[in-house]
Amino acid sequence: MRLLALLMLALASVPAHAQSYPTRPITIIVPFGAGGPADIYARFLGSRMQAMLGQFVVENRPGGGSIVGSTAVAQAAPDGYTLLLMSNTHTVNETLRPKKPFELMRDFVPVAPINYSDLLLVVHPSVGVSDLKGLVALAKREPGKLNYASSGPGTPYHMAGELFKSLAGIDVVHIPHKGSDQARLSILSGQVQMMFDAITTMAPNAQAGKVKALGSSGRERSSVMPDVPTVAEAGVSGYEATIWLGVVAPKGTPKAIVERLNAEITKVTSSAEVRAAWAKQGATPLVMNPAEFEAYLVGDIAKWRKVITDAGIKLD
């Protein structure tokens, strides 16, 4: 009877623990550089959730194609006070970087997705091409002479470039950077010739004429830049790539806390105001419960494993 009483007390304490959570600031670690979509939407999410859960601190820890910051979260206490802002970089890295210090589905618990957006293929004006067919023709005439920037191995920008190389049958050189902010500066300054970047962050630069947009990466044209064809429409058949974002916590985080966080994130991403604001930026909200998000992650790992294997994509 004493054991049963203790068990009932422990079970009863779980929802109470979630109700009292949080009692101190929550840290969202972004394993990418400042100014990119992960950083932008982590800060947006934190500002919206402060009214519901109190203070959120966003900390950028870029490096290693997300490995540095992600490892820190994997090793953090599973108490709901340290969260990871992840992207499809993480599902890609399950295949591309098998020797990293953590495994996504072993060391983290899915909390909630945030949104997804298309990428924009841009070139520096000095490249002198007016459309995607011209870029492909140039790359074929001068193999290995064009460079493309990314925020690091395994990131959506890297994978988008490698998939483009494979489907277009061209040889362009990958130039990895520590973060998307540095990669963006490289394309804007002309130090590299091309880049796939999130349309949410690169569209203003293309609209200002700082870079030339040759294609968007989705199945349909983006409402943000409707005059720009998709990469597939412009000549590289079968091409499609996106960047999506989500939140995970260290494995062992109490289920009640995970569900509380999911509910609060869902309130933000389901808001009509947020949906309208993100649509203008080229982002589409994703709404799933923790179990649905877990299945989504498992499916994305399998999807990218096939892409990487079929295309023979390897780290530089």
Q: How many Cα atoms within 13 Å fall on the side-chain side of residue 184?
A: 22
pLDDT tens digits, 112-144: 999 999 999 999 999 999 999 999 999 999 999
Res 281: pLDDT? 92
State the chain's mean pLDDT as an integer: 92
- Going by pLDDT thresholds of 50, 70 and 90, the confidence category of residue 77 is very high
Q: Give the mean pLDDT of 146-175.
A: 92
Do residues 175 and 149 make contact, with C-beta atoms less than 8 angstroms apart? yes
> Which residues are within 8 A (CB) of 141 and not within 5 positions of it... i.e. 6 or more apart?
none
Q: Give the mean pLDDT of 283-299.
A: 97
- In angstroms, the CA 143 to CA 173 distance is 9
Lowest mean pLDDT among 7-16, 86-95, 214-223: 7-16
Res 1: pLDDT? 45
Residue whose C-alpha is closest to residue 115's, from 40, 53, 180: 40
Do residues 232 and 118 make contact, with C-beta atoms less than 8 angstroms apart? no
- Going by pLDDT thresholds of 50, 70 and 90, the confidence category of residue 17 is low
This prediction has a pTM of 0.84
Res 6: pLDDT? 41
Query: Which residue ranges form the domains of the chain, and what is each CATH number?
Result: 2-116+244-311 (3.40.190.150), 118-216 (3.40.190.10)
User: Would you say residue 313 has pLDDT above 90?
Assistant: no
- Going by pLDDT thresholds of 50, 70 and 90, the confidence category of residue 15 is low
Res 13: pLDDT? 44
Res 307: pLDDT? 82
User: Would you say residue 5 has pLDDT above 60?
Assistant: no
User: Which amino acid does the sequence have at 227?
Assistant: D
122 forms beta bridges with 195, 213
User: Would you say residue 18 has pLDDT above 90?
Assistant: no
Q: Give the mean pLDDT of 176-185.
A: 90
pLDDT tens digits, 205-243: 999 999 999 999 999 999 999 999 999 999 999 999 999
